[in-house]
Amino acid sequence: MVAIAYDDLTPGRVFDLGTVRIDRDEMVEFARRFDPQPFHLDEEAGKRSVLGGLCASGWYTSSLWMRAYVDHVLADSTSQGSPGGNELTWSAPVFPDDELRFGMTVNSARLSKSKPGLGLVEITGTADRDEERVMRFTFLGMFGTRA
Amino acid sequence: MVAIAYDDLTPGRVFDLGTVRIDRDEMVEFARRFDPQPFHLDEEAGKRSVLGGLCASGWYTSSLWMRAYVDHVLADSTSQGSPGGNELTWSAPVFPDDELRFGMTVNSARLSKSKPGLGLVEITGTADRDEERVMRFTFLGMFGTRA
């Protein structure tokens, strides 16, 4: 029996998705391939920018959150993927060696009208550095029911 | 003089951000690190899923779009980063060897009230496979003015 099905994702339920420390080398490697803006590649360019220093591509932070979501929730679940979200906020720059705490909260859940056995769950994923929120992603997840 | 400043991002303006072909090896490598769900790693698991085959993590598709946006627009611009977006839709699965066409449209633009010389531009980025939209991302970009 899987750990997480639609039935377990009740509104208000909160999940701790653990912590990660931002690895400078991987952060820059990601930016070099997918988001080669100067402030994501070079310390001096970062200092000259409004971001204040060499910082992570928002897509890197989001991808790290996704990995934590897979490890802590999706890996043992009835997940059927996601059609996307309606909010993706990068509210503060993320720097090398930052420790981020990942989490998620279930906002709402409803059964699909067209697909029996499938439920749609609205989830807000978060990344925090100490008390400061650095990322928030609100999206729909599709999960099979236990029945 | 940079090619793209706030002043150039007029509502309705459309940018072609080129095409990419989805490389299976890189697609799977990305998933192994950031989104290791079975349908992103393995052909048979993909066939058994509602997605219909081995397919890309949505974050990979979004990251490829970002790279095209940097190459075609941001690299020679007054960009000051982005605080995020209010829509990120993965409307169809993306498969190895798919050719995606990337684009973007400027929705609206306004000058910042608090920061002189800075403008906020709402942009919708798109990825299409032939006539089918596979991704859409609507976000705010911050750009310096020419003045």
CA atoms A97, A32, A102, A69: torsion sign: negative
Nearest CA in chain A to B52: A80
Question: How large is the greatest C-alpha to C-alpha distance in chain A, in angstroms?
Answer: 56
Which single residue is written with the structure tokens 């979004």? B62
Are residues A63 and B63, on separate chains, in Cβ contact within 8 Å?
Answer: yes
Helix/strand/coil for B21: strand
Q: Categorize the per-residue pLDDT at B110 as very low, low, confident or very high, splitting at 50, 70 and 90.
A: very high
Identify each DSSP E strand in A28-98 by its residue range.
84-90
Q: What is the mean pLDDT of residues A46-57?
A: 94
Question: Which ipTM did the prediction report?
Answer: 0.96
Which residues of chain A does B85 touch, with a Cβ-Cβ cutoff of 8 Å?
87-89
Domains of chain B as residue ranges with CATH: 6-144 (3.10.129.10)
Are residues B84 and A90, on separate chains, in Cβ contact within 8 Å?
Answer: yes
Contact A37, A21 (CB under 8 A): no
Q: What is the mean pLDDT of residues A127-143?
A: 97
A59 min Cα distance to partner chain B (Å): 6
Give me the amino acid identity at B122.
E
Q: What is the mean pLDDT of residues A55-64?
A: 98
Q: Categorize the per-residue pLDDT at B50 as very low, low, confident or very high, splitting at 50, 70 and 90.
A: confident
Tens of pLDDT along A65-92? Answer: 999 999 999 999 999 999 999 999 999 9
Vertex A30 angle, CA A56 and B121, to 5°: 55
Q: Output the average pLDDT for chain A.
A: 96
Cβ burial, residue A129 (10 Å; 0-12/13-18/19+): middle
Evaluate if residue B29 carries a pLDDT over 90. yes
Q: Categorize the per-residue pLDDT at B147 as very low, low, confident or very high, splitting at 50, 70 and 90.
A: confident
Hey, of B70, B94, B135, which one would you mutate to test binding to chain A, going by the most A CBs within 10 A of its CB?
B70
Percent of chain B with pLDDT strictly greater than 70: 100
Tens of pLDDT along B115-146? Answer: 999 999 999 999 999 999 999 999 999 999 99
The answer for B 20-59 residues in CB contact with A (under 8 A) is: 30, 33-37, 39, 49-51, 57-59
Q: Which of A66, A81, A73 is nearest to A15 (CA)?
A: A73
Are residues A35 and B67, on separate chains, in Cβ contact within 8 Å?
Answer: yes
Contact B60, B27 (CB under 8 A): yes
